[in-house]
Structures are given as C-alpha cells and as structure tokens.
Amino acid sequence: MESQLSLSAIQTDLFWEDKAKNLQQLAEQIEALPTTDIIILPEMFTTGFTMAAEKFAESMQGETVEWLCYWAEKKQAAIGGSTIIKEGDSIYNRFLLVDPSGEIQYYDKRHTFTLAGEDKAYATGKNDGLVNYKGWKICLRVCYDLRFPVWGRNTSDYDLLIYTANWPHKRIDAWDALLKARAIENMTYCVGVNRIGTDGSNLTYPGHTTVFDYMGEVIGSTTEHQGGSTTVTLDKAAMLLARKKLNFLNDRDRFTLH
C-alpha cells in the first residue's frame, strides 16, 4: 500500500461534439502536468454533454480508449474521465480509468440526468464503480450521481471518491455544497472535476473543480471560469488515523441497494 497518492484534475473548455479537437487540447494539457499518480478529466471529455449517443459512441477498442492507454503509459499515471461507450445494444456514459500497464477499469453512470433526456439516450449503469490503483480503493461517480448520497455512501471503506462532471453555472452552489458533504459524511478524500465554457445546448459551466480532504477542507481548487489544473497529494495514513480517532463511519447505517 502506498500511503500517499498524487492526483491532478484538469479543468477545461470542451469543443462541442468535436473529438479530434478535444483530444488534441487535452493531450497538450496532460503533457504539461507535473509528475503525478492519477489524472482526472471532465465528464464526456471527447464531446461535451451530448445526447447524440449513437452518433458518437465508441467501442472499448476504439480511438478514445487507445488514446487513454497511450497517455497513461507515457505519463506513467492512471488517467480517467467519462466518454460514450457502446456495448451490445446499450450505450453508456462510462467513466474509464486506465493505468500505465493498460489495465482498464470503469463505472457506468447510474443516475442518468432525466432533465436533459439522458435517460432516453443512455443506459443506466449497474456496476458499483469501485476500482483499485496503487493500493487505494477508489469510488468512481459521474455528475448527477452527486445528488444521491446513498449511492456514494462509504459502506465499502473506499479511500477516494471522484466525480467527473458537466455541472452548469446555474446550479453550481449545489455542486460546491454536495461535494463537501460527500467528503464529510464519508470521511474520505472527495474530488469533483468540472468543465468550463459554453456547450451546444447553450449551458455555461464555471468549473469549480475542487479537492476536499476527509474533514471537508479544500486542499486543491482551480480558478472559476478559467482552464487549468490542480495537483494535490493525498495521505491515506492520515485519513485512516482520523477515521480511527473519530469513529464516525462505525456508526453508519447498514442497508442494501437494489
């Protein structure tokens, strides 16, 4: 187990439904990052939050997965973010995490955003989104999942909770409050990576990419409405010591999700 894990979160504008431009832009941003263990990109980083799922869906052997594998190996870091993946007859908003060895772990968004019709374009995910990297148990979640605390509840003693998102300006106060709440109630590091700019649906995104520690303190953030990144070092030993001292998770409710 590695007690410390460095994490970089990239906050960027996205070219609407233009995979080539987005991958080129992100490649430049990834190249410029300092040495880090894990790199997180926004939700639907190849297209923006489009409902044209069939048009932009790729397979797990497609260009975007190959691109992630290339950069994970080059930077010797795990790289993750959500993109549009088709398997069988279903299309998912899938949060991929690719490590330097080429191992691919993923989570399919469970709570599709009905207000935008995401439930009609994308299938509902069924997997738990718990992955492992460098001895850290990581819980992957996507955007709208943030509004459902039971789905993020730390019943499995994960060490890090990550949300990748396209969260608009008009509801950004909820983003800030809920990310902090998820960190506090689960006594875990909580990362929220959001985009900036305006998309093809004329929604504006302010960023507010933030890293909270297990007590709800901000340990990393980016400037509102500006592209950039934040890199932080997470300390598992310190987090576990705080959990042992306070024992809040020992009093959590027991339940089963269906």
Q: What is the CATH number for 22? A: 3.60.110.10
Structural domain includes residue 256: no
Structural domain includes residue 49: yes
Catalytic-labelled residue, pool 143, 180, 190, 236: 143
Structural domain includes residue 189: yes
pLDDT at 142 over 80: yes
Catalytic-labelled residue, pool 19, 75, 86, 109: 109
Nearest-angstrom CA–CA distance, 187 and 114: 30
Nearest-angstrom CA–CA distance, 118 and 126: 16
> Is residue 94 a contact partner of residue 85, using CB atoms and an 8 Å limit?
yes
How large is the average pLDDT for residues 133-144? 98
Question: Catalytic site residue 87?
Answer: no
State the pLDDT confidence band at 199, using cuts at 50, 70 and 90: very high
Q: 């709800």: which residue's tokens?
A: 216
pLDDT at 40 over 80: yes
Question: Catalytic site residue 103?
Answer: no
Number of independent structural domains in the chain: 1
Residues 6+ apart with CB under 8 A from 103: none
State the pLDDT confidence band at 1, using cuts at 50, 70 and 90: low
Question: Catalytic site residue 43?
Answer: yes
pLDDT at 173 over 70: yes
How large is the average pLDDT for residues 48-68? 98
Average per-residue pLDDT for the chain: 97
pLDDT at 67 over 90: yes
Sheet holding 4-11, edge to edge: 104-108, 90-98, 78-87, 38-40, 4-11, 228-235
Dihedral sign, CA of 150, 151, 154, 157?
Answer: positive
Catalytic-labelled residue, pool 43, 75, 118, 190: 43
pLDDT of residue 258: 82
Structure tokens at 227: 């592209």
Q: What is the pLDDT of residues 179-191, one digit of tens each?
A: 999 999 999 999 9
Structural domain includes residue 257: no
Structural domain includes residue 258: no
Q: 């992955």: which residue's tokens?
A: 131
